[in-house]
Amino acid sequence: MSAFVLSNLVVTGGMLTPGLGTAGTLGWQVVNQSLNVAINYSNANKSTPLPTSAIVKSYFIAVGASCGVALGLNSIVPRLKRLSPNAKLIAGRLVPFAAVACAGVLNVFLMRGEEIRKGIDVYPVLTDDEKQRVEKGELKVEPLGKSKKAATLAVGETAISRVLNATPIMVLPPLILVRLQKTEWLKQRPRMTTPVNLGLIFATSIFALPLALAAFPQREVVSAKSLEEEFHERGGKENLVEFNRGI
């Protein structure tokens, strides 16, 4: 997890660097989506394997989407005549968030689309006695089957958590930095802009990332009746079933 936090900090800091040109914007968006693909693949449900061809295809679509949104918005914002110069500055600083949020959601659904199409393993929720028997090796829990509805819920919640993670990290630091850049202290010390920017991102990440990851439990528990009919009367404790949402 610490490696993920560090890499996320570095990539986010790169994308939120003021004054990035076209090459810089494209470069950091590619790096960010490469990181997202690695994270989504490593933390998928795994009960439904994803072919290598699908991974490659998903990667290029996600990269294309993020770069397209970033470059498109960067070209549109300066043309918005009704916005004041300050509003344009703020809008321009929020472009990376829009690109990351859109492409992040798309990336999750592309990388884990096979789960939605084929379903993921669903297990009965165990009683305390059954859990003890499992620990002793007296009971082996087999999946009840694959559920497409469970997969849709798992992938959807993961996509939402990506937006929840990106929102504070990519919205608060640039807005605060715009404010700080108007102060005499930072005007007289322009070299401090990057360290201050990274500090804001790091401070926000410490609080935002754990909250985003905790927004939905990794081991999701739902009523068996909320899934396909074949699971309705096959739940475990209190007719509940569970499945691995992934991260």
Q: pLDDT tens digit string along 31-72?
A: 887 887 777 777 666 677 667 777 788 788 878 887 888 888
Please report the pLDDT score of residue 100 as a whole number.
82
Please report the pLDDT score of residue 1 as a whole number.
47
- β-strand pairing of 145-147 with 120-124: antiparallel
73: nearest Cα among 110, 36, 25, 32: 25
Please report the pLDDT score of residue 32 as a whole number.
81
Rounded to the nearest 10 degrees, the angle between the axes of helix 193-214 and helix 2-15 is 130
Assigned domain for 124 exists: no
Assigned domain for 44 exists: yes
Assigned domain for 102 exists: yes
pLDDT tens digits along 208-223 = 777 777 788 888 999 9
Rounded to the nearest 10 degrees, the angle between the axes of helix 193-214 and helix 148-180 is 150
| Range(s) of the domain holding residue 163 | 2-119+146-217
pLDDT tens digits along 188-198 = 998 898 889 88
- What's the structural domain count of the chain? 1
The Cα–Cα gap between 224 and 238 comes to 9
